[in-house]
Amino acid sequence: MAWGGVAEQYVGCLFFVNTLICTVVMLNLLIAVVSKSFDTIDEKKTQASFREKAGIIAENEYLISTAAKAEWCKPKMSLYYIKEKEDWDDETVEAK
């Protein structure tokens, strides 16, 4: 059965439009997945940073001898962590 010249052009046009729409939808889906992954990682970056710092401190417990720790860490001494004022968030300011 012959479709004729008009049907071939119509099918070609439909194929092009369908391919274009599918490409745009798949690209949009890829952007959404990557964006969600980035948001998940971004939410956990502070927690991961503190976990890494605590791991380094815990690791140093085993690397430094007891005599060196006693000499270096005097009694009633504290470790202060200072943030720049621009890095403060509203919760930090309210807590103080």
**Domain segments of the chain: what residues?**
4-95
Of residues 94 and 7, more confidently modeled = 7
pLDDT reported for residue 26: 97
Per-residue model confidence as pLDDT tens digits over 31-62: 999 999 998 888 888 888 888 888 888 777 77
Handedness of CA 53, 55, 61, 64 (dihedral sign): negative
Handedness of CA 25, 43, 49, 51 (dihedral sign): negative
Q: Where are the alpha helices (DSSP H) in the chain?
A: 4-43, 45-63, 66-72, 90-95
pLDDT category at 83 given cuts 50, 70, 90 is low
Of residues 58 and 94, more confidently modeled = 58
Residue 10 is encoded by which pair of tokens? 């119509």
Q: Which amino acid is present at 20?
A: L
* Mean per-residue pLDDT of the chain: 79
